[in-house]
Amino acid sequence: MGDLRPVGLFDSGVGGLTVAREVFRLLPHESMIYFGDTAHVPYGPRRTEELIRFAREIIAFLLSSRVKYIIFACGTNSSLTLPVVRALYDVPMIGLVEPGAQEAVKSTRNGRIGIIATEATVKSGAYERAIKSLALETAVFAVPAPRLVPLVEAGLSTSEEARRAVFEYARPLKKAGIDTLILGCTHYPFLASHFTDCLGPEVTLVDPAKATVLRAREEMNRLGILNNPGGRVAHSYYVSGDPARFQKTADLLGCCIENVQRLQLEEALPAGSG
């Protein structure tokens, strides 16, 4: 028998579903517990201390659900909280930054890489550091895009408003002559067609999710914690806000999920945990 314990994923909302879909594809024998902190979305404008508090509460919940591995399915948490909290837990964890940076460095031909992400992620400089540690000479252009997450969460990813916002944010990157763009927030792959329309097909869009889940698979294999093919697989979804709203947005985005449950972390966790 393999390791039946689930893999834990978390994000501020529906963005992490772009990582979950890679889990379904690349780790089809694994069960998953997903937490969307929709009561606190968007994370992008928040302070690091607050994000760390949320992340610790979510991790405590995931650990109480016996997860064997945690994927930070959020660019903001991958950039700001993972480097702080990793040392506090025994459970193995991975974020999107290093795998995404590696993909981008592999992809660029002209050494000009763009990053589009939340304000917090851009301010952290995490992607830029990761890219420079791999290829010092790379020119990096980072643009914060605060309007995009609320539009995706509102189910408006295909709207004219979302398209206009993407064009506004991506235009300076086009001018800068990038040939590779990291979608540094997990909500943005839902807007990929707008980015391609603005930047043209010659600019490669890097969604760090695939490289991250591949790396997670390697690590889980090395640790001997993969589930066996044929083992029981079940996925559960929890949100801190309105489950019906989350379900509706996920449906609009073409994500097949069900049984979304509401969970308020302060109520669910024993005092002092996290």
**256 carries an active-site annotation:** no
Query: Who contacts 59 (Cβ-Cβ below 8 Å, separation ≥6)?
Result: 8, 10, 70, 85, 89, 91, 274
3-state SS, residue 10: strand
Question: Which of 80, 82, 94, 149 is the binder for ligand DGL (CB under 6 A)?
Answer: 149
User: Does residue number 15 form part of the binding site for ligand DGL (CB under 6 A)?
Assistant: yes
Question: What does the per-residue mask of binding to ligand DGL show for 203-242, with x meaning CB under 6 A?
Answer: ----------------------------------------
User: Does residue number 124 form part of the binding site for ligand DGL (CB under 6 A)?
Assistant: no
User: Does residue number 42 form part of the binding site for ligand DGL (CB under 6 A)?
Assistant: yes
The DSSP code sequence of 33-69 is EEEE-TTS---TTS-HHHHHHHHHHHHHHHHHTT-SE
Q: CB 95 → ligand DGL: shortest distance, Å?
A: 10
Residue with the closest Cβ to ligand DGL?
A: 15
Token readout for 160 is: 């004219």
Instruction: Pick between residue 61 and residue 190 the one whose CB is nearest to ligand DGL.
Output: 190
Instruction: Pick between residue 28 and residue 168 the one whose CB is nearest to ligand DGL.
Output: 168
Q: Are 143 and 115 in contact (CB under 8 A)?
A: yes
**Crossing angle of the two packed helices 208-223 and 97-107, in degrees rounded to 10:** 120
**198 carries an active-site annotation:** no
User: Does residue number 41 form part of the binding site for ligand DGL (CB under 6 A)?
Assistant: yes
Task: Let me know if 186 is exposed, middle or buried by CB neighbors in 10 A (0-12, 13-18, 19+).
Answer: buried
User: Does residue number 11 form part of the binding site for ligand DGL (CB under 6 A)?
Assistant: yes
Phi-psi region of 66 (alpha: psi -120 to 50; beta: other; left: phi over 0): left
The DSSP code sequence of 185-196 is STTGGGGHHHHH
User: Does residue number 44 form part of the binding site for ligand DGL (CB under 6 A)?
Assistant: yes
Question: What does the per-residue mask of binding to ligand DGL show for 64-93, with x meaning CB under 6 A?
Answer: ----------xxx-----------------
Q: CB 151 → ligand DGL: shortest distance, Å?
A: 11
Backbone angles phi, psi at 68, to 5 degrees: -105, -10
User: Which residues are catalytically annotated?
Assistant: 74, 185
Task: Please give the residue ranges that form the binding site for ligand DGL (CB under 6 A).
Answer: 11-12, 15, 41-44, 74-76, 118, 121, 149, 185-187
